[in-house]
Structure 1
Amino acid sequence: MKALHETSFKESLAIQGRVIGALLMREIITRYGRNNIGFLWLFVEPLLMTAFIVGMWKFLRADQVSSLNIVAFALTGYPMAMMWRNASNRAIGAISANMSLLYHRNVRVLDTIFSRVLLEVAGATVAQIVIVAILVAVRWVEMPADIFYMLLAWVLMALFALGLGLVVCSVAFKFDAFGKLWNTASFVMLPLSGAFFFVSSLPQQVQEYVLWIPMVHGTEMFRHGYFGSSAITMGNPWYLLLCDLVLLFIGLAMVAKFSKGVEPQ
Structure 2
Amino acid sequence: MSGDVDGAPKSRLLRSWAIQRRVIGALLMREVITRYGRHNIGFLWLFLEPMIFTLGVTAIWTATKSVHGSDLPIAAFAVTGYSSVLIWRNMPSRLVDSIAPNLSLMYHRNVKIVDIFAARLLLEAVGVATSFMVLTLFFAAIGWLNLPEDPLKVIEGWLMLAWWGMSLAMFLGALSHRSELVDKFWHPTAYLLFPLSGSAFLVDAMPPEFQKWILYLPMVHGVECVRDGFFGSHFTPHYDLGYMALINLTFTFLALTEIRHASQNLVPA
TM-score range (shorter-chain normalised) is: over 0.9
Instruction: Kindly indicate whether the alpha-carbon contact (under 8 Å) linking 1:170 and 1:254 is maintained by their aligned counterparts in 2.
Output: yes
Corresponding pairs, count: 265
- Change beyond 3 A, Cα 1:174–1:64: closer
Q: Which residue of 2 aligns with 1:99?
A: 103
Moved more, 225-234 or 65-74: 65-74
**Aligned: 1:158 with 2:162:** yes
- Superposition pairs of residues 56-95 of structure 1, within 5 angstroms: 56-62=60-66, 66-95=70-99
Q: 1:181 aligns with which of 166, 181, 185?
A: 185
**Helix, strand or coil for the counterpart of 1:94?**
coil
Q: Which amino acid aligns with 2:112?
A: R
Question: Could you tell me which of 187, 193, 214 is aligned with 2:197?
Answer: 193
Q: Which residue identity lines up with residue 143 of structure 1 in the other structure?
A: L
| Dislocated runs of 4+, deviation >3 Å | 59-66
2:29 to 25, 28, 34: 25
Q: In structure 2, what is the Cα distance between the partners aligned to 1:199 and 1:249?
A: 29
- 8 A Cα contact 1:94 1:116, kept in partner: no
* Cα shift at 1:136: 0.4
Give 1:204's match in structure 2, choosing from 208, 227, 234.
208
Partners of 1:63 and 1:69 within 8 A in 2: no
Q: Is the 8 A contact 1:159 1:244 kept in 2?
A: yes
Q: Is the 8 A contact 1:146 1:226 kept in 2?
A: yes
Counterpart residue type for residue 40 of structure 1: L
Question: In the aligned structure 1, how far is the partner of 2:155 from the partner of 2:68?
Answer: 30
Q: Deviations over 1:62-94 (max 9, x none)?
A: 479842212211111111111111101111132
Structure 2 residue runs of 5 or longer lacking an equivalent are none
Separation of aligned partners in 2, 1:121 and 1:46: 11
CA distance in 2, matches of 1:104, 1:245: 30
Note the residue ranges of structure 1 that are not aligned, 5 or more in a row. none
State TM-score, norm by structure 2.
0.94
**What code does the residue aligned with 1:92 have?**
V
CA contact (8 A) 1:163 1:251 kept: yes
Q: Which residue identity is paired with 1:14? A: A
Q: Distance in 2 between matches of 1:221 and 1:66?
A: 16
SS at match of 1:162: helix
- Tell me the alpha carbon deviations over residues 20-56 of structure 1, each in whole angstroms, 9 at most, x when there is no partner: 1111110110111111111111111111111111122
Rounded to whole Å, the distance in 2 between the matches of 1:27 and 1:186 is 23
Are the equivalent residues in 1 in contact too, given 2:54–2:82 (CA < 8 A)?
A: yes
Identity %: 37
CA contact (8 A) 1:194 1:220 kept: yes
* Kept after mapping to 1: 8 A contact 2:100/2:177: no
The reply to whether residue 222 of structure 1 matches residue 229 of structure 2 is no
Quick one: distance in 2 between partners of 1:143 and 1:83?
Answer: 21
Query: In terms of mean alpha carbon deviation, does 122-131 or 92-101 score higher?
Result: 92-101
Q: Letter of the aligned partner of 2:154 in structure 1? A: M
Say if 2:70 and 2:202, in contact at 8 Å, map to a contact too.
Answer: no
Deviation, structure 1 residue 169: 1.2
Taking the aligned partners of 1:58 and 1:27, their CA distance within structure 2 comes to 35
- Aligned residue identity for 1:128: F
Aligned CA RMSD, in angstroms, stands at 1.5
Report whether the alignment pairs 1:142 with 2:140: no
